[in-house]
């Protein structure tokens, strides 16, 4: 049996691109759930500082991240030298999904990997 995925909630404090009502509802439902989760003020800021906690999170097994676009989250971790594993990371997009959709995915216990693979260019093929 695999370990339950860890949950990371990003409050997107500085960019303020996520609808405030969605952020508030997701955070409230997480808090009310009794489930363990990590909350950070802003993944963009953490990436810019190359915060070592991003590396620990990326290396720690299955993870679900409530933040913004999966491609943006993937590159924020990459910029911090903390690549997320493509097969065990799921990003829920609070910019375009409802709080209900995000929470349903967070609470179901199953990781549905959705990070973009990236395109293969001539220089990157073996």
pLDDT at 56 over 80: yes
Give the pLDDT confidence score for residue 3 in this predicted structure: 75
pLDDT at 1 over 90: no
The answer to whether position 75 is within a domain reads yes
Per-residue pLDDT tens over the stretch 72-112: 999 999 999 999 999 999 999 999 999 999 999 999 989 99
Q: Which residue has the higher pLDDT, 106 or 124?
A: 106
The answer to whether position 11 is within a domain reads yes
Per-residue pLDDT tens over the stretch 15-34: 888 999 999 999 999 999 99
The answer to whether position 125 is within a domain reads no
Share of the chain above pLDDT 70, in %: 91
Per the structure, the count of domains in the chain is: 1
Give the pLDDT confidence score for residue 2 in this predicted structure: 61
How is residue 7 written in tokens?
Answer: 């949950």
pLDDT at 124 over 70: no
Q: Which domain holds residue 60?
A: 6-117
What CATH number did the domain enclosing 77 receive?
3.40.50
Spatial distance between the Cα atoms of 37 and 54, rounded to a whole number of angstroms: 14
Bridge partners of residue 7, in order along the sequence: 64
For the four alpha carbons of 108, 82, 72 and 20, in that order, the dihedral sign comes to: positive
What is the Rg, in whole angstroms, of the alpha carbon atoms belonging to the chain? 14
The answer to whether position 98 is within a domain reads yes
The answer to whether position 73 is within a domain reads yes
How is residue 18 written in tokens?
Answer: 């996520």
The answer to whether position 88 is within a domain reads yes
Give the pLDDT confidence score for residue 126 in this predicted structure: 44
Give the pLDDT confidence score for residue 49 in this predicted structure: 96
What is the SS3 string spanning the chain? CCCCCEEEEECCCCCCCCCHHHHHHHHHHHHHHCCCCEEECCHHHHHHCCCHHHHHHHCCCCEEEEECCHHHHHHHHHHCCCCCCCCCEEEEECCCCCHHHHHHHHHCCCCCCCCCCCCCCHHHCC
How is residue 85 written in tokens?
Answer: 């594993």
Mean pLDDT of the chain: 91
The answer to whether position 13 is within a domain reads yes
The answer to whether position 82 is within a domain reads yes
């Amino acid at each position: 049996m695999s370990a339950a995925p860890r949950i990371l909630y990003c409050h997107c404090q500085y960019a303020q691109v996520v609808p405030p009502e969605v952020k508030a509802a997701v955070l409230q439902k997480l808090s009310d759930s009794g489930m363990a989760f990590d909350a950070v003020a802003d993944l963009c800021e953490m990436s810019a500082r190359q915060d070592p906690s991003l590396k620990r999170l990326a290396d720690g097994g299955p993870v679900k991240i409530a933040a913004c676009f999966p491609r943006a989250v993937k590159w924020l971790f990459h910029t911090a030298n903390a690549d997320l594993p493509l097969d065990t990371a799921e990003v829920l997009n609070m910019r375009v999904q409802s709080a209900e959709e995000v929470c349903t995915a967070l609470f179901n216990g199953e990781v549905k990997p959705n990070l973009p693979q990236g395109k293969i260019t001539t220089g990157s093929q073996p």
